[in-house]
Amino acid sequence: MYVILGGFFGVILTDIFQTALIAVGAVVLTVMVFRAGTPDAFLAQKDAAWGSLAPTWHLWPSFMQTTAPSYQHFFPFGPILMAGFYWLIFRVLAGPNVWDFQFFLTTRSPRDASLAGGLWTVGYTLRWILGCAFMVLGILYLGAEAGFDAEKIMPLVLKKLPLGMRGLFMAVLLAALMSTISAMINVTSSVVTNDFIKRYVKRPFSQKQLVQLGQLASVVALLIGFVFSLSFTHIVTAWETMVFVWVTVILVPATLRWHYWRFSAKAFVWSMAVSVVLVLSRVIALPHLPAYASLAVDVGLCFGTTLVATALTRPADMEVLVKFYSRVRPWGVWGPVRREAVRRGLVPANDKMPAMDVLNGLLTAIFQFAIALFVFYFFLRRWPSFLTWMALTLGLAVILYFTWYKNLPAKDEV
C-alpha cells in the first residue's frame, strides 16, 4: 500500500529504513552465529567436494541422495556453470535495468549515479551476510533435519529462535523482500504512465489523473504477480523462472543498447516482444529440457532475435547518437558515432574512458565475488581462506580507487 500511495519518494524513504533494519539484523545474526558454536563437526561429515571451489562437471556423489528434488538439477554443475556464465556476460554488460534503473536515473549528476552504483555493489553484502548466517545457523541448529532443502532452512531456524528474536528476523527478511518488490512495483507504474500513456495516448491527462493511472498499474501488477505465484510450488522454480526466463528477454537487448550504435528503441521493443514469444514456445515445446540447456537456448534465442531486430530497424538519428556518446562514452561498437564525436571535438581522439570501463567492469566483478567469499569463509571460520579473500578484496578496493573513483565525472558535470 505504501508503494502505491507513496510513489518513488515513499520507496526511497522505506528503503532507507529497511536497509538500516537489515544492517541491524546482519550484526545480530553474526553475533548469534559465533555464540552458537562451530560447524566443524557437521563439515567433517561431508564430502571434500562439499566445500571446494574447484570447477567440477558433476557435484559430489551423495548429492542426489541427500538433496530435495527441486534442487537436483544442479547435479550436472559443469554445464550449469557454463550456461550461467554465458548468461552472466549479458547480465554484467547490460548494467542497471528493469527495477533498479530508476534509482540511477533520479540521481543529481553522472558522478552521483556512479557513486550510487558503487554503494549498491558494497551494500548488497548485507544480504549475503544474512544468507550465510542463516545457512550456518541451520547447520548448527538443525544438522541433517532440513534434509538439505534450502527452502526449509530459514523457517526451521526461525522456529528455533526466541519469540522476540523470531519477530525481529521476520521483519528483517520482509524488509529485504519488500525493498526489491517495492522498486519493481514502482517502476511498473512509471513505465505505464511515462512510456506508454503519455507517449501513445492522445487524450491529455492531468497530473492527478496520471498519478491515479500509475497507482492502478501498480495494483494490476501486484494482482498479476500474486496469481502467477500460485503456479509455483518451490521458491527456486519461481526464482529461476523470473531471472533466467523473464529477465533474459530484457538483458540481451539491454546489453546492445549500451554497446552497439545501430541498436534503436524500435529494435529494443521488437526484440523483447519476439523473444517472449520464442521463449514461451520453447517452454511449451520442450518443457523437460535440462536447466543448463534451457538457459543456453533461451539466451541464444534472445541474442539471435536481437541481432535480427537490429538489422531490420533503422538506427537513431546521428545527432541523438553523438549527444549520447559524448556524455556516456560507452565501450563497444560505436565507430561511426565516435569518429563524428571526435570530429566535432566532443571527445578526445584517444579517449581512454571506454577501455577504463572495461577494466573496471572486470575488476568489479572479481571484487563482488571476493566479498561474497570472504563473508562465506568468515562464517565457516576457515581463517586462511577468509584472510586470502579479504586481502584480495582490499587489494582490489585500492586498485578501483585509482581506476574508478579517481576517474569519476566532475561534481559540476550534468
For the segment 210-230, what is each residue's pLDDT rounded down to a tens digit?
A: 888 888 888 888 888 888 888
Express each pLDDT in 220-260 by its tens digit: 888 888 888 888 888 888 878 877 777 788 888 989 999 99
Residue 355's pLDDT band (cuts 50, 70, 90): very high
What's the alpha-carbon Rg for the chain, to the nearest Å?
23
Q: Which residues contact 344 (CB under 8 A, 6 or more apart)?
A: 322, 326
pLDDT of residue 403: 96
Lowest mean pLDDT, pick from 92-96, 342-346, 353-357, 382-386: 92-96
In 178-295, the DSSP E strands lie at none
Express each pLDDT in 84-139 by its tens digit: 888 888 888 888 766 677 777 778 888 888 898 898 888 888 888 998 998 888 88
What nine digits make up the cell of 244? 533466467
pLDDT of residue 393: 97
Place of cell 566532443: 346
356-390 exposure pattern, b = at least 16 Cβ within 10 A, e = fewer? ebebbeebbeebbebbbbbbbbbbbebeebbeebb
- Where does residue 317 fall: left (phi above 0), alpha (psi -120 to 50 degrees), or beta otherwise? beta
Residue type, 126: L
Contact between 183 and 120 under an 8 Å Cβ cutoff? The reply is no
Rounded Cα distance, 127 and 227, in Å: 27
Lowest mean pLDDT, pick from 47-56, 261-270, 357-366, 393-402: 47-56
pTM metric for this prediction: 0.84
